Amino acid sequence: MEESGSDLWESARKMKGLGDERVATLEKLIGFNPHHARAKSLLAIILANRNAVANRSRSLELARDAISLRPDDATLRIALARLLGEGEGETLEEKMLALESALEIDQTNLEAAVMYLTSSKNCDEVTYENIKNIITDKDVNRHYELGGYFRRRDKERCKYHYGVVVRVMEGVIADTGRDVKGLHSKAKFWLATVEKGGEGAVERCPKEYVVGLYKGFAPTFDHTLVEKLHYKTPQLLLDTLMAAAEGVGPEGDSDGDGGKKYSSILDLGCGTGLSGLRFKGLLGEEGSFLGVDLSPEMLVKANERGCYDECLCHDIETCFNIEGVRARAPFDLVIACDVFVYLGNLENIFQGVKGSLGVNGVFCFSVELLEEEKGGKYNYICQTFARFSHKQEYIVQLAAEYGFEVVEMRKCVLRKNAGVDVVGLLTILK
């Protein structure tokens, strides 16, 4: 019965993408032939890519159905494993079982082997040996995944796999001029953090890394940060600004309600708007609030939250000269909450902010603190988990260099990481 509705199947395959028409074609085909395993598996993937959270249970149901219809097809099991994601407990168990059986069907399936290994807590040496026998230089995506897996487990293996990605991608860039999926810049970045512990070796996280990270993180960001990581930076930064309010910001208390009002605020790395939500109350009646962020998925959430007048998808390091930002400058308040963890060198930011602030303008931001004794000769370092921390001395030095006056610097716990307090520095400059 699999081939019934073959026209529908051919059209669905040709359509590509996540469009409504493709979904409707697959639904029609499945209605017509409920035994079409590949149609079910494809629909499962498309639905998950359209909205992983909302469509999760339907996607999983379709993917499991597909396997029961064609139990000897390894690719259907791999599809289910991908859909199950990074889960724990029963979800992880089901994922590992799906991969194990995919490998029983086809031991040379590299995708299944790499996913199996990288989903295991402890490195399974038999699987790794198998991978070494079947992987080639052409499998750059798999080498990249393996580099990531070994980052915190085995420095030499990590360096080997990222090294392959860098070498192969250099050839691709030479031929095509394109760094496909940013693999070259991401692998180079990780190599540097692993080789030298990140100390002074890297200046910032590559754009592609940030975009990729938050693409997956956006749907659960608010919940994870607030509920699990006890993220408090926006409120703490606002409190610090309020405490310093006498000496900073617009002249006087313009509406007499005890708070100063700002007319143009810029939120650098605004994310889903957790920071915007806190600072929105500082905006005067006619005020404008602009958010800038690299991640389109985070900006979708920010737009839904509705705290900004406009959100621009751009790198904050280079945003100060773009039309959308210049049009709203000068700003009287620029905030940056938990975004400098992705940038080590902050010179461009300080220069850009200085140039876009108006008279009495205020710049307030958080950094994770690099204690003097840990940083050695470095102003900032990148931890192996790709977050930068900065020395207080560096911030003071930049402030002086770019003509800011330090109004307030406050050390406090910003959030938890693996149950441990993360100490940060909140800074208010004018």
Ligand X SMILES: C[S@@+](CC[C@H](N)C(=O)[O-])C[C@H]1O[C@@H](n2cnc3c(N)ncnc32)[C@H](O)[C@@H]1O
- Positions that interact with ligand X (CB under 6 A): 210, 214, 233-234, 269-271, 274-275, 293-295, 298, 315-317, 337-339, 342-343
The alpha carbon of residue 5 and the mean position of all alpha carbons in its chain are separated, in whole angstroms, by: 41
360: left (phi > 0), else alpha (psi -120 to 50), else beta?
left
User: What residue is closest to ligand X based on CB?
Assistant: 271
Nearer to ligand X, 13 or 314 (CB): 314
In whole angstroms, how close is the CB of 166 to ligand X at the nearest point? 22
In whole angstroms, how close is the CB of 151 to ligand X at the nearest point? 20
* Burial (CB count within 10 angstroms: exposed 0-12, middle 13-18, buried 19+), residue 99: buried
Nearer to ligand X, 194 or 294 (CB): 294
In whole angstroms, how close is the CB of 339 to ligand X at the nearest point? 4
* Burial (CB count within 10 angstroms: exposed 0-12, middle 13-18, buried 19+), residue 384: middle
Nearer to ligand X, 37 or 422 (CB): 422
Which SS3 state, helix, strand or coil, does residue 423 take? strand
Nearer to ligand X, 114 or 395 (CB): 395
CB contact burial 271-292 (16+ within 10 A = b; e otherwise): bbbbbbbbbbebbbeebbbbbb
Nearer to ligand X, 269 or 424 (CB): 269
Pair 360, 251: CB distance under 8 Å: yes
Nearer to ligand X, 69 or 311 (CB): 311
In whole angstroms, how close is the CB of 140 to ligand X at the nearest point? 24
Pair 290, 328: CB distance under 8 Å: yes
In whole angstroms, how close is the CB of 232 to ligand X at the nearest point? 10
Nearer to ligand X, 124 or 208 (CB): 208
Pair 350, 318: CB distance under 8 Å: no
Cα separation values, 17 from 12, 21, 31, 323, Å: 10, 10, 21, 32
Cα separation values, 119 from 26, 63, 83, 90, 96, Å: 31, 19, 13, 13, 8
Residue 295 amino acid letter? S
In whole angstroms, how close is the CB of 323 to ligand X at the nearest point? 17
In whole angstroms, how close is the CB of 304 to ligand X at the nearest point? 14
Nearer to ligand X, 28 or 232 (CB): 232
162: left (phi > 0), else alpha (psi -120 to 50), else beta?
alpha
Nearer to ligand X, 117 or 211 (CB): 211
In whole angstroms, how close is the CB of 130 to ligand X at the nearest point? 37
In whole angstroms, how close is the CB of 276 to ligand X at the nearest point? 8
d(CA 401, CA 178): 37
C-alpha angle 187/193/198, rounded to 5°?
A: 150
In whole angstroms, how close is the CB of 124 to ligand X at the nearest point? 33
Other Cβ atoms less than 10 A from the Cβ of 121: the count is 7
Identify the sign of the CA torsion 251, 255, 259, 261.
negative
Which position has the token pair 């608010």? 222
Nearer to ligand X, 214 or 394 (CB): 214
